[in-house]
Each structure stands twice: as structure tokens, then as C-alpha cells.
Amino acid sequence: MQIYIHIPFCEKKCNYCDFLSGPADASVREMYVNALIKEIRGRAANVGRHDRVSTIYFGGGTPSVLSAKQLGDLIFTIGQEYSVESDAEITIEVNPKSADRDKLYFLRANGFNRLSIGMQSSHRGELELLGRIHTYEDFLTCYGNARDTGFSNISVDIMTAVPGQTEQMLASTVDKVIALDPEHISTYSLTIERGTPFYERFGDIEGPVIGEEAERRLYWMTVDKLKDRGYRHYEISNFAKPGYESRHNSGYWKRKDYLGMGLGASSCTVTPGGDERSRNVTDLKTYLENPLAREESNVLSRNDMIEETMYLGLRMMEGVDTDDFEKKFGVTVRSLYGDVIDDLVAQGLIYEGSSSLSLTDLGIDYGNHVFAKFLW
């Protein structure tokens, strides 16, 4: 089982962000942590030590806006209530501005063993446009402190297709990150989401602001640079040194059990009778009053599970394991999608191996088109 902890707070909401997050004062953050501890304990009555926890992920928002003590209380409570494996991957997302040396030392000493640092860009102008509160120099300080305090598994986020971004600008950012030698790098193409300052600024744009052709050119330049330096391209947007792939996110793509706790967090329990999906309430006042409240809950149909297996599996470069698919669902992928597979292979969008289906490079460019073909 995997555990996800949602911290919906940040010092300032970024101009592109549509996540369930926003600024909050110290008293609200403290009430939230107390409610979250109640939820962690309450959910344990249903799962507790029946399932061993292989990964824990603190996401947001910006989890590092919480105090060291608050983060320590949360991870301690999880350890009390759940059976956490000794080699569990325990990740926390941090903003360079809210993760000083003392906090990083405390996190490492209290069991966190993986950092995801939101750098996004090495250029001041891009960071200001995105609404980030940190500078590149802040990131370098945070990264150095993370190494000095014992973190040997660090992921760095880079944002591509930023308005005005040139190939030279992105290449400079990528080269600077590579020079630091992190274990993992994630690259995300900027999309304009409703309800964000960028939506007000750029309007209802379908696709990248800089255009599809330019976005794809930047994407493949980044892929080539990272692969040349030994990073394994294991998922459409993620790269890792061998053995450092994100175990937590890989669990999502492989449809493993996960328990989400915190405001708006989702959970999935895989069962023979159908996967049970649920989502916590998204209203903060309601959550503080009743942290065990669910906003929705349902059981996926067999068709839903098959569809998810296909489009999530295809996000990974290893693709869908067709032998495993047959074991899970009692039918072959070809018996369900034979004509679709033949058509996509003929178009050069997917590759059919002896026991796998995976995207080709061209298929990555037209990923959404491919995924849609596996929906009924």
C-alpha cells in the first residue's frame, strides 16, 4: 500500500497552478495538521497494519511551509498507526524558499529519504513570470543543503513551454540541473488551466502557449540531453538514474493500492470485485470539522479498470504488460483491442512486443490521441 498526504498550503499560489492549495496563516495550518492527525488515526481502523506501506508521499501545495515539528508529528503518527516497510520511499515536495538547512536536517533525521524540489527554471524572468517565490540561487542553496544533510535521492522539477522560452533558455536550465547530478528529473509542459492568473492573461488556449511544434521541439531536446547523460526515460515526463525511478508515482501508473489523506485527497483500494475509489471533501471548513468525511466514493466497473490499465500503462516507456493484463482480466488485450492495435501500429504510434504494448516516439507526441483509442 502507498500513502499520500496532501498539504494544501503555500506561501503564494503560482500563476499557473490550479491545484487544491493556497496561502493560510499559522493558526489554520496548525488546525489542519491536527485534523490530519485525526484522519491518519481514523483511517488506520480500516487498513492499519493489514497492509504494509511501501511509499509515503507528502505533496501539495508546498508541504515544506509546515514547521519541522508539524511534519515530524505527521510522519511519527503514520509510523505509529501503519506498518511502514524499513526501506519505504518517503518523499516530500519542497520549495527552495521554505526548506532551510535546519528543516532539511530534521526531515532527514525523521525518516524522509527523498526530496522533490520545485526549481522549474534557472532564469529569473521565467521564475517571476511563473509566480515562483524563489530564485535560482535559492534553489542552489537548498540543493546543497539537502546533500549536506544526507539526502541521496533528490528529484528536480523543470517546466517547459513557458511563454517566451527559447531552446537556448531551456537548454541552459537543463544543463545546469544535469551538472548537479540529481537522481531524478521531472519535466512538465506548461498548460493553461481555468481559474488561474495565466488563464486570465492568455485566455482559453487549447495546447501549449508557445504552440505545439515549438513545445515538441523543446520536449525532445530535453529528452535527448537527459538520455545522453545516463538518465532513463521511464515515463513520458520523468527521468531517473537506474534504480531511482519514483516508486510512489510508478505505483499510480501501475494501479496499486493507495490511501490519500488530507483535503481533497483520493484513495484507491484494488479488490477482485472492482476497485473502490474515494475522495476526501474539498472544503477546508468541512474537513477541519470532520477529517474522515468523503466527498465521493464509487466502485469502478471492469471496463473502467481495463481502460485505466491501458492509458496509465502506456504513459510508461515499458508500456502495458500484456501477460499481466491477461492474468488480471482473464482476456487478452488483442481480443479487446485487436483492430485498434493494428491501426496504431500501422500509423507508427505504438510498438507491439511479444508481451507488451508501448508508445513509439511518434506515439508520445500524439499520446492523448492514442490513449483515447482505448476508451469505450
pTM check: above 0.85:
yes
Q: What is the CATH number of the domain that holds 343?
A: 1.10.10.920
In a domain, 282, yes or no: no
Domain boundary among 225, 252, 279: 252
pLDDT for res 272: 67
Supply the pLDDT for residue 209.
Answer: 84
| Residue 306 within any structural domain of the chain | yes
Contact at 8 Å (CB) between 288 and 35? Answer: yes
Residue 229 is predicted with a pLDDT of: 96
For position 225, what pLDDT does the model report? 97
For 347, the domain range is 302-372
- Separation between Cα atoms, residue 72 and residue 74, nearest integer Å: 5
Per the domain annotation, does 291 fall within a domain?
A: no
The string of DSSP letters for 227-252 reads HHTT-EEEETTEEESTT-S-HHHHHH
Contacts of 97 (CB under 8 A, 6+ apart): 11, 133, 134, 138
- 254's grid cell: 501501475
Q: Which of 221, 252, 283 is the last residue of a domain?
A: 252
- Is residue 79 reached through a cis peptide bond, with omega within 30 degrees of 0 on the bond before it? no
Do 74 and 193 have their domain in common? yes
Position 141: which residue type?
Answer: T
Q: How confident is the model at residue 280, as a pLDDT?
A: 96
- pLDDT tens for 81-137 read 999 999 999 999 999 999 999 999 999 999 999 999 999 999 999 999 999 999 999
Domain count, the chain: 2
**What's the pLDDT score for residue 227?**
97
Query: Which residues in the chain land under pLDDT 50?
Result: none
The verdict on 247 and 307 lying in the same domain is no
